[in-house]
Amino acid sequence: MEFKQEWLEEVLTARSRAYTPFSHFKVGAYLVTKDGRAFYGCNVENAAYGPTICAERTALVSAIAQGYRPGDFKMIVVATGADKPSSPCGVCRQVMKELCDDDMPVLMTNTAGDVIESTVAELLPNGFSGKDLTND
């Protein structure tokens, strides 16, 4: 998937809204739906650490609250300020597994514009899903 310069601008705008009084590690996400809408996400930290919500999940739940459903998403771009683009954490991979197609592109970038491309399935191989939930 060819990375468009405008995506970098969008995801860095999203990143600028990060609420990170504890880590000062700002992350942005730019989620695009198959019908062409876009949602911003940023990390929102908490003094108790555990309730912290990452940028990828912020973008995804924002879209669900606007009526989008699993399968409606085309791609997500994630940006940090690190020298090498960072990967989503395991929690976000699990949420993407639930809400996104397995082959949905996940594009990781940084303020320098470096890009690494992956997919939901590559990031969470043999992922846990609702299909596993049997009540024996």
Residues tagged in the binding site annotation: 43-49, 54, 89, 92
**Least gap, CB of 28 to a second copy (angstroms):** 9
- Report the distance separating Cα 64 and Cα 61, nearest Å: 5
DSSP conformation letters of 89-111:
PHHHHHHHHHHS-TT-EEEEEET
3-state secondary structure of 86: coil
Under rule CB under 8 A, residue 48 binds a second copy:
yes
Residues 6 or more apart whose Cβ sits within 8 Å of residue 65: none
Q: Is 117 an annotated catalytic residue?
A: no
Given 56, 98, 117, 122, which residue is catalytic? 56
CA 72 to chain centre: 14
Mask for 4-23, x = binds a second copy (CB under 8 A): ----------x--x-x-xxx
Choosing from 2, 5, 36, 67, the residue that interacts with a second copy (CB under 8 A) is 67
Under rule CB under 8 A, residue 124 binds a second copy:
yes
Cα-trace Rg, the chain: 14
3-state secondary structure of 9: helix
Q: Which residue numbers are catalytic?
A: 56
Please report, as ranges, the residues that interact with a second copy according to CB under 8 A: 14, 17, 19, 21-26, 39-42, 44-54, 57-62, 64-67, 69-70, 80-83, 86-95, 97-99, 111, 116, 118, 122-130, 132-136
